[in-house]
């Protein structure tokens, strides 16, 4: 278990996670990529690892290819599909770093989400 602090709408929450996002990354890497994706570090959002601001809503995850780090929102487990869905989404960016949210990305996401 892992407890992290998260500020959301000006309110500070303590969120306890039962899943470790790094473990989810490693499991999905084995299951869907045969362990071939580079081992990115997966961390919850914090002051050291902020998520980017977005104009079009709520950012749940981000993937930084330069530092090989994925940051996930601390409240991900409360969202539909939870942490696994967000880690899987960011992993498709690791697999296809130049595709954005293009067609190849959507196919890869569908494969992992089945
Ligand atoms: Zn994305």
For residue 97 the two structure tokens come to 């770093």
24: CA distance to ligand 1 center in Å? Answer: 17
Q: Kindly indicate the confidence band of residue 45, based on its pLDDT and cuts at 50, 70 and 90.
A: confident
Q: For 19-113, give the CATH class.
A: alpha beta
108: CA distance to ligand 1 center in Å? Answer: 12
Please determine, for residue 80, whether its predicted confidence score (pLDDT) is greater than 80: no
22: CA distance to ligand 1 center in Å? Answer: 18
Q: Kindly indicate the confidence band of residue 29, based on its pLDDT and cuts at 50, 70 and 90.
A: very high
pLDDT more than 70, % of the chain:
87
Burial of residue 35 (number of CB atoms within 10 Å: 0-12, 13-18, 19+) = exposed
Under 8 Å CB-to-CB from 34, ≥6 apart: which residues?
A: none
Under 8 Å CB-to-CB from 18, ≥6 apart: which residues?
A: 1, 77
CA-closest candidate to residue 16, choices 76, 62, 61: 76
Cα angle 75, 80, 86 (rounded to 5 degrees) comes to 65
Please determine, for residue 86, whether its predicted confidence score (pLDDT) is greater than 80: yes
Quick one: which H or E segment has residue 61?
strand 61-64
């Amino acid at each position: 278990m892992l407890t992290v602090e998260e500020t959301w709408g000006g309110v500070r929450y303590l969120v306890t996670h039962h899943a470790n996002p790094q473990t989810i990354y490693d499991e999905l890497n084995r299951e869907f990529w045969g362990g071939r994706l580079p081992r990115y570090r997966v961390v919850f959002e914090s002051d050291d690892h902020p998520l980017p601001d977005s104009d079009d809503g709520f950012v749940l995850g981000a993937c930084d290819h330069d530092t090989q780090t994925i940051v996930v929102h601390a409240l991900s487990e409360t969202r539909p599909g939870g942490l696994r869905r967000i880690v899987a989404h960011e992993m498709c960016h690791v697999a296809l770093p130049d595709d954005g949210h293009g067609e190849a990305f959507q196919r890869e996401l569908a494969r992992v989400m089945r």
